[in-house]
Chain A
Amino acid sequence: MRRLILRAQIWVADHVAAMVWILLVLWAPPIVFTVLVDLKLANAAGSGYLSLRDPGLLLSIMQILLMAAALPMMRPHPGRARPLLLAALAVWFAHSAWTLQIRLRLIGRADLVSSETLVTFAALAAATGVVLAVRDRRQQLETPTAIATTAPPPAVQQPGTT
């Protein structure tokens, strides 16, 4: 079982860049479109807030920028991008909290068990698991290096002992 978890962690850490790319492809176009609507560059119903004042939109923009900024840091190992991924996750939590309080006020407590809220909770849990897997994988990669650098130097062969 432990070996299976380790393999799952390795798989997640190896594919975290692909996951970030997929989320950006899914999330960026609607946010760009909303910004265009907010700036009156595209015709659609606005959010009712002043231009670029919607907290939900601003949090989404921040999240996408953090994820996009994390991408170049993921090579050679995604562990380097972990602070930015953590920040993006924190912004996602904030965005979900903001959305949830609006929905609770509009729909009531029944929204806590709506499919949309449950999917959001599941997605947040999965994303947290991914960021933790990246952290654990980083620690595993750094552990052998630490041992190797603190290990005693190899004995020098004495001349004439062959």
Chain B
Amino acid sequence: MPRRAHVVSLSSALAFQAVATVMLFVWLYGWQTIDLVEWRSLTAAPFSVTLEPSQQFLYGSPFAHLLGAYYQRQGIGVVESFVIVHAAGLILLAYAAARVLISRCGVDQLAAGVLVIAASPLLLTILSWIGKTDDFLLAFYLLLLVARSPLTRAILCALMVLCHRELAVTMLIAHALVRAEGVALAGGAAAGLAISFLYTNVLLDAAPATRLDYLLEHARVVLSGAVRHPLVHFAAALGPFWIFVLRPSALTIRRTAVLGMAAVVAAMTLDFTRIFVLASAPLVIQLTEEIVAEIRDHGGIVLLGSRLPVSVLGILAFAQLHLAGDRLSWIRGFSWTITQ
């Protein structure tokens, strides 16, 4: 077989594997919605504090529910507006991920990028918390990576902050550490914080309780939970993606600082999967770029003394620690309906 024909058949086989991996992953783990009850209150009266204090931190992430409130004002129902907003978020995320992988790794390495990134809990996080604004948050961050205009980057930073004030700031600090750039983004983040403050402290009829208030109130429980199973928390945080992160060539002081910061933020929220992987998403994306470059140049990456092809690495997506839990589709009683 001529070399070019061989390369084409190899890349199409890899593309098939990437699509099959994502589809099988979605079927295995399914998806779960969250905060639909709060969505009803947030979108019905977006400028009144109607949630109980333990849930008022959701006002710090106004992007999605303001969008939902707009759709409801146009006559669309509560559940339908939820579906429209988060479907738009997921489509935007898929588009942004494809754009980043194509622009950073090349169109011929798109499938390899998908397979590498599938080993991290990012896909699991996006599918398990549909209702949080993680889809938009991550999509805006990925678009930030390909945006060239400083104004566009500032707007994307501000939108990230409106999606999730605390996580966005953590992600932008991680981005500054990983890519050694951040001064230009600080203006956008500051604008986002100002708009967020304007919303919570001026436009709302009362100042809501913040995530910090929630943390201070539950600090003892959260910290005792965080130190109870440190190894499990550590392993679940990035799942099989740890084998890429902990390679000696990949671990630098700046990247260790990102992991440390993500661990602190995750411990504060007692969420070692969603929060950890989102806080360290800039590192995950950067490492994916490096691994794909290594795959392109050498045909695979060196792990435990041997060079593994990307087709083997793709299997890691299914080695998420959560397989040990009750998340498998046939154990959970798979359902396609949205929880009311």
Interface string of A24-36 (1 = CB under 8 A from B): 0110011001100
**Secondary structure of the B contact surface, majority rule:** helix
The yes or no answer to B151 lying at the interface (CB within 8 A) is: yes
The yes or no answer to A121 lying at the interface (CB within 8 A) is: no
B149 touches A11 (CB 8 A): yes
B80 touches A15 (CB 8 A): no
The yes or no answer to A90 lying at the interface (CB within 8 A) is: no
B76 touches A29 (CB 8 A): yes
B88 touches A33 (CB 8 A): no
Nearest residue (CB) in A for B74 is A30
The yes or no answer to A14 lying at the interface (CB within 8 A) is: yes
B149 touches A33 (CB 8 A): no
The yes or no answer to B339 lying at the interface (CB within 8 A) is: no
Nearest residue (CB) in A for B155 is A15
A29 touches B84 (CB 8 A): yes
A25 touches B88 (CB 8 A): yes
The yes or no answer to A44 lying at the interface (CB within 8 A) is: yes
What distance in Å separates the Cβ of A96 from its nearest Cβ neighbour in chain B? 16
With a cutoff of 8 Å between Cβ atoms, the chain B residues found around residue A26 in the complex are 70
With a cutoff of 8 Å between Cβ atoms, the chain A residues found around residue B71 in the complex are 29-30
Q: Which of these, B75, B149, B151, contacts A30 with CB under 8 Å?
A: B75
What distance in Å separates the Cβ of B175 from its nearest Cβ neighbour in chain A? 21
B75 touches A34 (CB 8 A): yes
Instruction: List residues 1-60 of chain A with CB under 8 A from any CB of chain B.
Output: 11, 14-15, 25-26, 29-30, 33-34, 37, 44
**Secondary structure of the A contact surface, majority rule:** helix
What distance in Å separates the Cβ of A42 from its nearest Cβ neighbour in chain B? 9
Given contacts A14-B149, A33-B80, contact A44 B70 (CB under 8 A): no
Given contacts A11-B151, A15-B152, A25-B88, contact A33 B70 (CB under 8 A): no
B75 touches A33 (CB 8 A): yes
Bound: A25/B92 CA distance, A: 11
Bound: A157/B268 CA distance, A: 75
B76 touches A33 (CB 8 A): yes
Instruction: List residues 237-275 of chain B with CB under 8 A from any CB of chain A.
Output: none
What distance in Å separates the Cβ of B88 from its nearest Cβ neighbour in chain A? 6
Nearest residue (CB) in B for A28 is B84
With a cutoff of 8 Å between Cβ atoms, the chain A residues found around residue B74 in the complex are 29-30, 33
What distance in Å separates the Cβ of A61 from its nearest Cβ neighbour in chain B? 15
Bound: A44/B84 CA distance, A: 18
What distance in Å separates the Cβ of A128 from its nearest Cβ neighbour in chain B? 21
Bound: A30/B152 CA distance, A: 28
B contact set with A: CB distance below 8 Å: 70-71, 74-76, 80, 84, 88, 149, 151-152
Could you name 21 residue pairs across A and B whose Cβ atoms are closer than 8 Å?
A11-B149, A11-B151, A11-B152, A14-B149, A15-B149, A15-B152, A25-B88, A26-B70, A29-B71, A29-B76, A29-B84, A30-B71, A30-B74, A30-B75, A30-B76, A33-B74, A33-B75, A33-B76, A33-B80, A34-B75, A37-B75
A contact set with B: CB distance below 8 Å: 11, 14-15, 25-26, 29-30, 33-34, 37, 44
The 9 closest A-B pairs by CB, nearest first: A30-B74, A29-B84, A33-B76, A25-B88, A11-B149, A11-B151, A44-B75, A29-B71, A30-B76
- Other than A11-B149, A30-B76, give 17 A-B pairs with Cβ distance below 8 A: A11-B152, A14-B149, A15-B149, A15-B152, A25-B88, A26-B70, A29-B71, A29-B74, A29-B84, A30-B71, A30-B75, A33-B74, A33-B75, A33-B76, A34-B75, A37-B75, A44-B75
